[in-house]
């Protein structure tokens, strides 16, 4: 028995030793002794491995065995070492600059550079490599780091030293401001479906936050003709091997080298013209197969990029299986500066453990991203074992220092101390900015509007105050749901009428219950196209009172929810007592000889009421569907993503007669189809909106029940998908049927980027057209042309119709 037990014990020990993992670590340097940042360390013929860190340090954990370890970096000659791993080992490596040979190439004077023949072959194979992998899964690791490189001591009179200390910067106001790591399992299926599940997440300075890292967003694919990096560039970036790349790039053959039996061609890539959305740098192409081996490309301001000065993209591929190459790593490194501030940073992603063409179903990809509770709770022991890229000394210090700060920041005494400073009440705040009182520990927030911001003027009320306050409290932290209540008091100093209203939103499981009640002074056009501030300015300065108002006493209740996927529905019931209001004030600063129009938009020179006092009970049912069920899952709940298809909205409103004394009797059916940011590649993006509707019964309704449109008659107005540039706010509303359409095209600087000096402004060309027809107002059309810059659109427009409806005007649209 003892012999048997001994043998069993020996067997157990042997199995344990055989299964034990050991660590290889070291530093990768160049021939001058300088570290090679993010050099790739791989086990030959596998995707097991990881990049070194920013200081060239690497760690590789493997079971006992014999391996050939490869060390490589773009621009360096690959080195390999065979090792037998039976314990932890240190292995330092020196990489020599890669020598690319030109001896097999003869370039004749005036002849075409041999790089063009290679590029043409790569372009012909582009589609093959774009679609050859039908599906795959892999493990990913992402690290992101951003740091302040320079910050002034003072900015706009404010001392920045205190703020710098609070965010963990050093005495020179420099250091890391964002550091995060994450692990994910990534699945892909053609043509462009991703499912990603975050396994772990770590953010320096926060014990509760989740990393923003997304493997699918960092998995850049230069086999695509264009790289659409929204926000970074107004136009799509052209790949160096795109179908039309020869129209955008010059190429130069820089030589060849041999790596693992493959001949690698180095091609220098430069833009044919400045200020085109193009890269510059080097791509490495494998001879005979003409696939990408790696890329080292850069974007600068001359490419028209936003927010950053330079962006470098480095991508490496490794063989997976017999004839398949997949990305092993990609790194984005950037610098940016504004005024005296300068920042820099990087995101690096590692892809490994590929499974090519696994059995996946399309249902898997309805969920694009999953982040579950607990992925940010992994301890330091876990990260020491799981982290493929070792931390630098600076990163370790940042984690340690900010862990102390995070514990302090999340404590009740600290939050209370911040709230005490924030909650101070003063006459200045009361008048200028409003009062804000919060308790972040209990998740309650109370806010009031500023008194001065609540003042307005119109000819119905004269000078008026419309003062509001709101309260919110988080009632479900797991799903980030809030109870929200607000109230408003309104008083007109000329007509001496006092109004007050309350409304609220209460989440109940998957439903949202809303309610409102009280009295208010309301725009006749329920699209609210005229902002109170705009009307105040036009009235007092130009004696033009565009806004037309009525008195409304009401109560309403609504219920809404997401029914399934992209299908949402709501129902709202409202009872209102509606009363006509006359003008009571005619004051203005200028143009005293000009007469104000009456409050009746259909009889501007008469004080005739537009409608008698009436009561209305109506029920509105609405549904919208975006033809998609794609969503992301976070610990706070499920959030659905915008669809690539247009959104369909259908609404039905029933005016109910006699019940509760209601005077109305009508049925209105409406429908619309809309979509924003539809890409046309190099020709920009467009938005469109098509709407139609009909009153199938209009036995009894009043002007407030008509179908109104988002018109505009002033210089500055807020844009909307269904807004017009010059349409009258009220005179073309209908009680029968209508058809409207809107189209806006943003060319993203297609023409202006080619004009010297002007192109530095990064202006974008805009063309906008609109159309409206009703039985009473037929075939009204508008055309506007202009530019867009930083959320502001300036357009000159023409309208086409009969008589006074045909005009021209200049308009400024504010998107923020």
DSSP assignment string, 551-620? EEEEEEEEEEEEEETTEEEEEEEEEEEEEE--------SS-TTSPPP-S-TTSTTS---SS--EEEEEEE
- By DSSP bridging, strand 40-43 and strand 135-150 are unpaired
Residues 141 and 62 in one domain: no
Asked, as a colleague might, if the bond just before 239 is cis with ω within 30 of 0, I would say no
pLDDT at 28 > cutoff 90 = yes
Residues 220 and 301 in one domain: yes
Instruction: Judge whether 651 and 621 are in contact, CB under 8 Å.
Output: yes
Mean pLDDT of 82-89: 88
Residues 191 and 307 in one domain: yes
User: CA of 231: how far to CAs of 92, 227, 238, 308, 479, in Å?
Assistant: 41, 12, 16, 11, 29
Query: Residue 431 domain-assigned?
Result: no
pLDDT at 3 > cutoff 60 = no
pLDDT at 66 > cutoff 80 = yes
pLDDT for residue 481? 85
Query: Residue 594 domain-assigned?
Result: yes
In 212-291, DSSP assigns E strands to: 226-227, 237-238, 249-259, 262-271, 280-286
pLDDT for residue 111? 77
Residues 122 and 89 in one domain: no
Q: Which of 141-155, 411-425, 563-577 has the lowest mean pLDDT?
A: 411-425
Residues 484 and 607 in one domain: yes
Query: Residue 417 domain-assigned?
Result: no
In 9-115, DSSP assigns E strands to: 21-30, 40-43, 49-51, 57-63, 65-72, 79-85, 89-90, 93-95
- The count of domains in the chain is 4
Residues 309 and 237 in one domain: yes
Residues 596 and 711 in one domain: no
pLDDT at 161 > cutoff 80 = no
pLDDT at 775 > cutoff 70 = yes
DSSP assignment string, 460-525? TTEEEEEEEEEEEEEEETTTTEEEEEEEEEEEETTT--EEEEEEEEEEETTEEEEEEEEEEEEESS
Percent of residues, the chain, with pLDDT higher than 90: 57
Last residue of a domain, one of 608, 632, 663: 663
pLDDT for residue 160? 73
Residue-range definition of the domain harbouring residue 157: 115-409
User: CA of 311: how far to CAs of 223, 399, 513, 675, in Å?
Assistant: 19, 26, 47, 31
Among candidates 567, 565, 551, which has minimal Cα distance to 615? 551
pLDDT for residue 376? 85
Residue 171 binned pLDDT confidence (cut-offs 50, 70, 90): confident
Mean pLDDT of 10-33: 66
Last residue of a domain, one of 95, 129, 147: 95
Q: Which of 401-405, 537-541, 724-728, 779-783 has the lowest mean pLDDT?
A: 401-405
Residue 599 in tokens = 């409050």
Residues 492 and 631 in one domain: yes
Residue 190 in tokens = 């053609």
Residues 163 and 28 in one domain: no
In whole angstroms, what is the distance from residue 440 CA to residue 419 CA? 7
Query: Residue 434 domain-assigned?
Result: no
Q: Which of 155-164, 427-436, 638-647, 663-672 has the lowest mean pLDDT?
A: 155-164
In whole angstroms, what is the distance from residue 616 CA to residue 748 CA? 47
Query: Residue 437 domain-assigned?
Result: no
pLDDT at 317 > cutoff 50 = yes
Alpha helices of 248-389 — where are they, by DSSP H? 380-386
Residue 4 binned pLDDT confidence (cut-offs 50, 70, 90): very low
Q: What is the pLDDT of residues 458-507, one digit of tens each?
A: 999 999 999 999 999 988 876 778 899 999 999 999 999 999 999 999 99
- Tokens 């690791």 appear where? 141
Residue 167 binned pLDDT confidence (cut-offs 50, 70, 90): confident
pLDDT at 251 > cutoff 80 = yes
In whole angstroms, what is the distance from residue 271 CA to residue 279 CA? 7
pLDDT for residue 573? 97
Query: Residue 608 domain-assigned?
Result: yes
Residue 106 binned pLDDT confidence (cut-offs 50, 70, 90): low
pLDDT for residue 815? 64
Mean pLDDT of 415-421: 77
- Tokens 């101390």 appear where? 417
Residue 301 binned pLDDT confidence (cut-offs 50, 70, 90): confident
Query: Residue 598 domain-assigned?
Result: yes
Residues 631 and 767 in one domain: no
Among candidates 135, 181, 538, 566, which has minimal Cα distance to 346? 181
Last residue of a domain, one of 602, 634, 663: 663
In whole angstroms, what is the distance from residue 785 CA to residue 780 CA? 17
In whole angstroms, what is the distance from residue 689 CA to residue 739 CA? 11
Residues 629 and 765 in one domain: no
Q: What is the pLDDT of residues 599-630, one digit of tens each?
A: 999 999 888 999 999 999 999 999 999 988 88
Would the CA dihedral through 9, 14, 15, 19 be positive or negative? positive
Q: What is the pLDDT of residues 223-237, one digit of tens each?
A: 999 998 877 888 899
Q: What is the CATH number of the domain that holds 32?
A: 2.60.40.10
pLDDT at 331 > cutoff 70 = yes
Residues 217 and 353 in one domain: yes
Query: Residue 684 domain-assigned?
Result: yes
Among candidates 438, 499, 514, 429, which has minimal Cα distance to 470? 438
Residue 726 binned pLDDT confidence (cut-offs 50, 70, 90): very high
Q: What is the mean pLDDT of the chain?
A: 88
Residue 571 in tokens = 């129902």
Mean pLDDT of 733-756: 92
Helix (H, G, I), strand (E, B) or coil at 816: coil
């Amino acid at each position: 028995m003892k012999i048997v037990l001994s043998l069993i014990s020996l067997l157990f020990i042997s199995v344990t030793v055989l299964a034990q993992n050991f660590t290889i670590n070291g530093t990768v340097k160049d021939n001058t002794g300088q570290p090679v940042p993010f050099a790739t360390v791989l086990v030959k013929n596998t995707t097991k491995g990881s990049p070194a860190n920013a200081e060239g340090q690497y760690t590789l954990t493997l079971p006992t065995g014999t391996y050939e370890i490869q060390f490589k970096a773009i621009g360096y000659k690959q080195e390999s070492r065979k090792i037998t791993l039976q314990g932890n080992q240190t292995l330092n490596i020196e990489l020599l600059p890669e020598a690319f040979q030109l001896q097999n190439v003869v370039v004749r004077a005036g002849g075409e550079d041999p790089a063009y023949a290679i590029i043409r072959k790569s372009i012909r194979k582009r589609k093959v490599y774009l679609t050859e992998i039908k599906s795959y899964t892999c493990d990913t690791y992402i690290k992101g780091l951003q740091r302040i490189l320079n910050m002034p001591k003072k900015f706009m009179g404010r001392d920045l030293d205190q703020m710098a200390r609070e965010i963990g910067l050093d005495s020179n106001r420099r250091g890391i401001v964002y550091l995060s790591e994450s692990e994910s399992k990534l699945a892909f299926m053609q043509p462009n479906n991703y499912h990603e599940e975050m396994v772990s997440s770590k953010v320096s300075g926060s014990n509760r936050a989740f990393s923003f890292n997304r493997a699918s967003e960092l998995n850049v694919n230069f086999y695509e003709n264009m790289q659409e990096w929204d926000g970074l560039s107004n136009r799509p970036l052209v790949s160096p091997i795109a179908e039309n790349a020869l129209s955008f790039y010059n190429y130069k053959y820089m030589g060849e080298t041999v790596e693992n039996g493959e001949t690698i061609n180095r091609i220098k890539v430069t833009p044919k013209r400045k200020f085109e959305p193009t890269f510059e740098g080097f791509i490495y192409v494998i001879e005979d197969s003409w696939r990408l081996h790696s890329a080292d490309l850069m974007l600068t301001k001359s490419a028209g990029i936003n927010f950053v000065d330079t962006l470098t993209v480095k991508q490496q591929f490794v063989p997976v299986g017999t004839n398949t190459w997949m990305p092993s790593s990609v790194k984005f490194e950037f610098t940016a500066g504004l005024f005296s501030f300068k920042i820099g940073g990087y995101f690096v992603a590692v892809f490994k453990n590929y499974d090519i063409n696994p059995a996946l179903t399309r249902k898997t990809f309805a969920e694009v991203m999953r982040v579950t509770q607990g992925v940010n709770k992994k301890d330091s022991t876990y990260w020491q074992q799981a982290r493929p890229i070792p931390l630098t000394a600076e990163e370790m210090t940042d984690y340690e220092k900010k862990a102390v700060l995070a514990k302090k920041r999340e404590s009740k005494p600290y939050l209370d101390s911040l709230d005490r400073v924030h909650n101070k009440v003063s006459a200045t705040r009361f008048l200028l900015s409003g009062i804000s009182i919060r308790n972040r520990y209990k998740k309650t927030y109370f806010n009031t509007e500023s008194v001065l911001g609540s003042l307005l003027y119109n000819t119905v009320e004269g000078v008026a105050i419309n003062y509001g306050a709101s309260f919110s409290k988080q009632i479900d932290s797991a799903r980030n749901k809030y109870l929200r209540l607000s109230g408003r008091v309104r008083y007109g100093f000329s007509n001496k009428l006092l109004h007050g209203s309350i409304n609220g939103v209460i989440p109940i499981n998957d439903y949202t219950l809303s309610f409102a009640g009280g009295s208010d002074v309301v725009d006749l056009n329920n699209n609210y196209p005229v902002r109170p501030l705009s009307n105040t300015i036009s009235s007092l300065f130009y004696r033009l009172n565009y806004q037309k108002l009525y008195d409304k006493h009401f109560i309403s209740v609504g219920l809404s929810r997401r029914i399934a996927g992209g299908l949402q529905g709501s129902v709202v019931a409202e009872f209102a007592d509606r009363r006509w209001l006359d003008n009571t004030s005619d004051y203005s600063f200028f143009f005293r000889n000009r007469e104000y129009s009456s409050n009746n938009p259909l009889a501007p020179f008469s004080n005739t009421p537009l409608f008698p006092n009436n009561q209305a009970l109506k029920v509105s049912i609405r549904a919208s569907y975006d033809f998609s069920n794609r969503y992301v899952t976070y610990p706070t709940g499920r959030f659905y993503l915008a669809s690539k298809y247009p959104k369909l909205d259908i609404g039905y409103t029933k005016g109910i007669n006699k019940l509760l004394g209601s005077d109305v009797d009508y049925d209105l059916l409406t429908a619309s189809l809309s979509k924003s940011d539809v890409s046309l590649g190099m020709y920009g993006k467009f938005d469109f909106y098509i709407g139609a509707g009909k009153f199938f019964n209009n036995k009894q309704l009043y002007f407030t029940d008509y179908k109104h449109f988002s018109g505009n008659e002033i210089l500055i107005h807020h844009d909307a998908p269904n807004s017009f540039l010059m349409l009258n706010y009220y005179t073309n509303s209908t009680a029968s049927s209508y058809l409207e359409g809107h189209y806006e095209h943003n060319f993203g600087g297609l023409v202006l980027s080619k004009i010297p000096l002007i192109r530095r402004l990064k202006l974008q060309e805009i063309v906008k057209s609109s159309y409206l027809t009703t039985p009473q107002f037929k075939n009204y059309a508008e055309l506007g042309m202009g530019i867009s810059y930083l959320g502001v659109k300036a357009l000159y427009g023409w309208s086409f119709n009969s008589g006074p409806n045909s005009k021209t005007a200049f308009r400024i649209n504010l998107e923020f």
